[in-house]
Amino acid sequence: MTFNGTVLTYYCKYLLFDEELMGTINMAGQVVMLVGIPLVGVFLRWLNKRTLCILGSGLIVLGSLILIIAPENIALLMISSFIRGFGFSTTYALIYVMIADVVEYGHWKTGIRTPGVITSSASCGQKMGSGFGSFLIGVIMEGNGYDGTLAAQPEAAIETIYNLYVFGIAAIGCIMIVILLFYHLEQEYPKIISELMARTKASEET
């Protein structure tokens, strides 16, 4: 989401020549998330968390790649933002639920319950990821000729902005899908909870 918001600013300024569009397009994605996040709870009746996150990541990829059709078409950019917004909704809604699952897994695996450490580690990771993402964007753009003091950017810088916003975010979505394919905790979770409850009951009896 940091990558998306940061690059969108440059995309609007140098490809659409209207910085003010950034707020409108970004807001479109945020509004969709307000609708999408509650819907995630509804879809959890039929699909598990991993599947929903994979589908959401797929929407991020789709929302990015449709811009290939007409990169400077504002209507298409809005549609792209809507699709990405629904994609972001799944991970945004489920990330802390999945972190809570990890707390139970850690308790089951080690016998030690550490919700504070796990939650703060996840929060730290998000902040570090956000900072590193912004730094990486700056390094890539500067390496391709971007200069914020120039009124008009060189062609290589414009192409880089386009590639980051379309293919860069699509690549992140693909990476998320690959990582999620290895996520197996959800299948093990009922057994984990059952064993934890059995341990608690045995402890109380003794």
Tell me yes or no: is domain 2-205 CATH 1.10.260.40: no
Cα 171 versus chain centre, distance: 12
How far is the first Cα of the chain from the last one, in angstroms, to the nearest whole number?
Answer: 50
pLDDT for 62: 95
pLDDT of 199 strictly over 70:
yes
Instruction: Report yes or no: 191 and 104 within 8 Å, Cβ to Cβ.
Output: no
pLDDT in tens, 118-131: 888 888 888 888 88
Give the span between the Cα atoms of 159 and 98, in whole angstroms: 37
pLDDT higher than threshold 70 for residue 190:
yes
pLDDT tens readout for residues 135-171: 888 888 888 888 877 777 888 889 999 999 999 999 9
State the Rg of the chain over Cα.
Answer: 21
Name the nearest CA neighbour of 79 among 93, 94, 59. 59
**What is the tens place of the pLDDT at every residue in 66-110?**
999 998 898 999 999 999 999 999 988 888 888 888 888 888 888
Confidence category of residue 205, pLDDT binned at 50, 70, 90: low
Helix, strand, or coil (residue 186)? helix
Q: What is the pLDDT of residue 159?
A: 92
